[in-house]
Amino acid sequence: MPVHTAHDRTALEDLLELLSAKKMVLIDTAGVAQRDTRTRELLDMLAHPSINKLLVVNTAVQGETIDDVMTSYRAAACKGIVLSKLDEAVKLAPALDAVIRHKQKIVAVANGQRVPEDWHRLSGQALVHRALRATGSPAYNFDASEMNLVFATPQMTERRPVPAGRA
């Protein structure tokens, strides 16, 4: 597969014109972080009307980070979401929560390093089942000896009688 590089919008438009007879042209943004100062420039460059964008979301990160990525990368302007790194995610629910709140459609999931073998389409039911299944171990297990530290009984102070008429 031929690979081309476009460092600015003009170069991208020239490449899109050159490749206009192709059925599909894939554009990889090489993982610019959502808080990188170049993100806005990248999004402006990809605002070409012929580009249908898919946002790839790493499900192995915290829910707040997923929400930040979806906001920064303007998920509302994308045709759908690809959930990646399902094999690395301890919990899938935060990613599904963000997708639902941003009213997006999941078009594919990736659960490994082999592309395209590890890319799949999962039904909503399969995703919810995966999100709600019990994980192997919780982040923290209470030890019985630690319970009194968490639920300690307050010490009673000595009560003095209240003089009559002051109560």
- Give the domains, in start order, of the chain with CATH numbers: 9-150 (3.40.50.300)
Alpha-carbon separation of residue 22 from 1, 17, 18, 19 (angstroms): 12, 10, 9, 6
pLDDT above 60: residue 164: yes
Name 36's Cβ contacts closer than 8 Å, sequence gap at least 6. none
Average pLDDT, the chain: 83
Give the confidence band of 32 by pLDDT, cuts at 50, 70, 90.
Answer: confident
Q: What is the pLDDT of residue 148?
A: 64
CB atoms within 10 A of CB 133: 8
pLDDT, residue 42, reads 85
User: What b/e string do you get for 35-53 counting C-beta neighbours within 10 Å, with b at 16 or more?
Assistant: eeeebeeebebbeeeeeeb
pLDDT exceeds cutoff 90 at 46: no
**pLDDT value at position 105?**
94
DSSP E strands: which ranges in the chain?
54-58, 80-84, 106-110, 119-120
Q: What is the pLDDT of residues 97-143, one digit of tens each?
A: 999 999 999 999 998 887 778 888 888 888 888 888 766 666 666 66
> Span 5-16, mean pLDDT?
89
Residues near 166 by beta carbon (within 8 Å), at least 6 away in sequence: none
Share of the chain above pLDDT 70, in %: 80
Residue 150 has pLDDT above 60, yes or no: no
User: 35 or 137: which carries more pLDDT confidence?
Assistant: 35
- What is the C-alpha separation between 142 and 150, in angstroms, rounded? 10
- Length of the chain counted residue by residue: 167
